[in-house]
Amino acid sequence: MSSLSGKTALVTGAARGIGRAVAVRLAAEGAAVAVNYRGSAEKAEETAEEIRAAGGSALTVQADVSDQKSVQEMFSRVLGEFGHLDILVNNAGITRDALLIGMKEEQFDAVIDANLKGCFFCMQEAAKKMIRQRSGRIISISSFSGIHGNAGQINYSASKAGIVGMTKTAARELSGRNITVNAVAPGFVDTDMTAVLSDKVKEAIFAQIPLKRIARPEEIAAAVAFLAGEDAGYITGQVICVDGGLSI
């Protein structure tokens, strides 16, 4: 029997990138997975098809995580289908990079709304259900930028540092109900988000990574799967850095 068999999971932003790798990995471990997307309906269906082709169970669910009503409707749909929710992975995220003095309020708000408020709305809905179940796992994707900062990402690093604070607070509030809350902080991962960086910027970044390469999305998914599994039952309020040694 796979380690997550009988469990259910909701992964936000699972149409592509890290979210897709997480959804596929949790399904491979036996979980039935709800694949959330905002605009990428076709790609979300591809994720679900990949899961089904491997013998797993998946449904796709549209929602903009920065919109509370949309999140509440997503949870109603997912809980209606699954009946219970064991694992929430807060993965959805965006960047709108600019240096501090040039950052526009709209850029700042867009990133805080999607990355931080989105995580809060989903955590809140998941916690309501998990408290009644007296069990659950909440895993959120933070970032190296949220712990160490990154020039050009004043908005993004604030959102990702906020996720660390929310993770620790939710871990304290929910531990009495057998719910663990953790975060994974990737460094640089090979997805659409980093594809926009110039070769010059990428080279400069790789030179600073002790392992001298960018991560594959599957390497982030492996850490998420560990935190979702039985072996991580005594770990809560933690941030696992999966960054090739960047934060050493």
Query: What's the first-to-final CA gap in the chain, in angstroms?
Result: 37
Which one of the spans 99-107, 181-189, 202-210, 223-231 is the region binding ligand NAP (CB under 6 A)? 181-189
Task: Provide the token pair at 100.
Answer: 């501090």
Q: Report yes or no: 140 and 90 within 8 Å, Cβ to Cβ.
A: yes
Task: Provide the token pair at 156.
Answer: 């993004």
Nearer Cβ to ligand NAP, position 17 or 229?
A: 17
The residue within the footprint of ligand NAP, chosen from 4, 9, 16, 89 (CB under 6 A), is 16
Nearer Cβ to ligand NAP, position 7 or 117?
A: 117
The residue within the footprint of ligand NAP, chosen from 78, 188, 229, 241 (CB under 6 A), is 188
Q: Rounded to an integer, what distance in angstroms lies between the CA atom of residue 92 and that of residue 238?
A: 19
Q: Which amino acid type is present at position 222?
A: A
13 near ligand NAP, judged by CB under 6 A = yes
Which one of the spans 47-55, 73-81, 87-95, 127-135 is the region binding ligand NAP (CB under 6 A)? 87-95
The residue within the footprint of ligand NAP, chosen from 9, 18, 23, 122 (CB under 6 A), is 18
- What is the torsion angle, in degrees rounded to the nearest 10, for the CA atoms of residue 151, residue 155, residue 161 and residue 166? -170
Phi, psi of 121 (to 5 degrees): -60, -45
Which residues 6+ apart lie within 8 Å of 92 measured at CB?
A: 12, 13, 19, 36, 38, 65, 114, 115, 118
3-state class of 160 per DSSP? helix
162 near ligand NAP, judged by CB under 6 A = no
23 near ligand NAP, judged by CB under 6 A = no
**Residue 156 falls in the annotated catalytic set:** yes
Phi, psi of 62 (to 5 degrees): -80, 135
Q: Which of residues 102-161 bind ligand NAP (CB under 6 A)?
A: 114, 118, 141, 143
191 near ligand NAP, judged by CB under 6 A = yes
Residues at the site binding ligand NAP, with contacts judged by CB under 6 A: 12-13, 15-19, 36-40, 64-66, 91-94, 114, 118, 141, 143, 186, 188-189, 191-194
| Residues catalogued as catalytic | 156
